[in-house]
Amino acid sequence: MYSKLVMEHFNQPRNVGYLDNPSVAIQYGDPACGDCLLVFLKIEQGIITDMKYKVMGCAAAIATASITSEMSIGLTVEQALELTEKDVVIALGGLPPQKVHCSNLAVGALKAALRVYLAGDREPEAVINAGH
């Protein structure tokens, strides 16, 4: 039911891990189901130069986190804020309809981290919750 690319990212997720000295780090969770991401961003001169994450979730959540990290590294903060879950789903070659909401998790976490960064609140403990 998953595309080949989804399975490939699920089996070998890119950029998993932590950053030692992130520009911003947040936990982004979904209280409705317990799925959650820890996101670390390195931002230099307005450009995302690194993104790492730890994700708890289904195959779709893992694959979307992986491809979101690939898509966001190299973008400016402004460009990354324009990424949509639809962009991510298209880049993955589609998701089963009942799994599209799982793509909210990674894109939502990325944008929440960027908003925390832009607000100047770079405490690693920032916790953002989002329903879906």
Residues that bind ligand FES (CB under 6 A): 30, 33, 35, 57-58, 60-61, 101-102, 105
Minimum CB separation of residue 30 from ligand FES in Å reads: 5
Give the number of other CB atoms < 10 A from CB of residue 126: 18
Q: How far apart are CA 123 and CA 115, in angstroms?
A: 13
Residue 65 vs 75, nearer CB to ligand FES = 65
Nearer to ligand FES among residue 51 and residue 105 (C-beta): 105
**Closest distance of CB 85 from ligand FES, Å:** 11
In order of 18, 31, 96, 105, 127, the CA distances from 41 in angstroms are 9, 23, 29, 16, 15
Q: Which residues contact 100 (CB under 8 A, 6 or more apart)?
A: 85, 89
Which of the residues are catalytic? 33, 102
Shortest distance (Å) from residue 6 CB to ligand FES: 12
Whose Cβ is closer to ligand FES: residue 93's or residue 124's?
93
